[in-house]
Homo-oligomer: A and B are copies of this chain.
């Protein structure tokens, strides 16, 4: 990559290009005959879909990962997941370490953009830390999965399956090689709790993990960590209760499970939209009220600087804080006795607005091009945008236009629609900083 002249590109533009190069490389690898069981390779469009889905850590699939791909194909997917989950720049830094190259300032600036960091100082230490945390947690997760899986399958297969699903879970990728996600393990506590722990840790972000690891008390955490932990906790508790209440009597999902099974399955339904994409009960059998609720959870998604997607828990928290501020007539938005600047609130709102417009537009186009119930297409669009990967079953039947649209949506969801807008817009010259007189308008 060092041969390309990056000097005219902004960090956001370098990022977009980097992801595009990885996705294209992955696509080409998946079209090779050696990648598929039938020995013919995948069609380019489907390979592009799969490669984008893996790199964007989404998990939507047009062919069953377990039965369609050879181990070579599966490992290509796993590598794409790890690159996509860690972020392209972290991976290229790892590569630079390995070949002993020094990082340029430009390289550091792009990492900063990719990892959602405030400061440029300590970037290299940060990357080392991120890599260490990732491989440690994935290793521990794989170990616990292995203890359970080795009871059902040969040692070698158990090791492969443990690593694959630990990496897929921590990176919130949602790809599985069981063939039916985790539906064989609906009531299995060991698998459920290990996978949920990996998903949640992957989704709360590396900065939060660091503060948790330091063992400080809650009141000494940074505002960011306090907000991530409270919103995540509220969404998990609320999600479990609502899922339980809505699906309790549905014979195709929770209805025929034991009490423990019902509890685990409801908990899993609240964890997976943050934005893992595994499922333990068939998504297509959920009631439409539950699907709509999960659409909202998927739209919110995971936390910033994590492997998850969506508009992010802190963005949602900022929205709630604005609501509280207005209802109580306060002047500034405050959270945990800290003031939030208007520029942060404006960013949060912009992200929610552009994301809403994106999913509404994508759903509308799908409703024209595809033959499926509206709720299934709405669900598919938000799942792709939030890089969740849950589907009621329409992915494999998408038309060519539908596939291309979902590929675009997954990509936009991973890099962030605002990053794309900024990449296009940021080179325009800003006008001199005139401050116009204030004038009121009526809203609502």
Contact B373 A443 (CB under 8 A): no
Is A140's beta carbon under 8 Å from chain B? no
The majority secondary structure among interface residues of chain A is helix
**Is B364 within 8 A of A292, CB to CB?**
yes
Please determine whether B430 and A444 come into contact, CB atoms closer than 8 angstroms: no
Contact (Cβ within 8 A) B349 A322: yes
B residues in contact with A364, CB < 8 Å: 289, 292-293
Question: Chain B residues near A213 (CB, 8 Å)?
Answer: none
**B326 in contact with A439 (CB, 8 Å):** no
> Cβ of A375: which chain B residues have Cβ within 8 Å of it?
374-375
Chain B residue contacts of A338, Cβ below 8 A = 436-439
Set of chain B residues within 8 Å of A314, measured between Cβ atoms = 441-443
Known: A327-B425, A334-B436, A364-B292. A442 touches B342 (CB 8 A): no
Residues of chain B with a CB closer than 8 A to A425's CB: 327-328
The interface residues of chain B lying within 8 Å CB-to-CB of A246 are 368
Minimal Cβ-Cβ distance residue in B for A304: B442
User: Can you tell how many copies of this chain the complex includes?
Assistant: 2
Task: Say yes or no: is A319 at the interface (Cβ < 8 Å to chain B).
Answer: yes
Q: Is the CB of A344 within 8 A of B224?
A: no
A438 touches B341 (CB 8 A): yes
| Residue in A314, A319, A343, A444 whose Cβ sees the most chain B Cβ within 10 Å | A444
Task: Report the minimum CB–CB distance from A56 to chain B (whole Å).
Answer: 16
- Kindly provide the distance from the CB of A347 to the nearest chain B CB, expressed in whole angstroms: 5
Given contacts A291-B374, A304-B442, 4 further A-B contacts (CB under 8 A): A323-B353, A326-B347, A328-B428, A340-B438
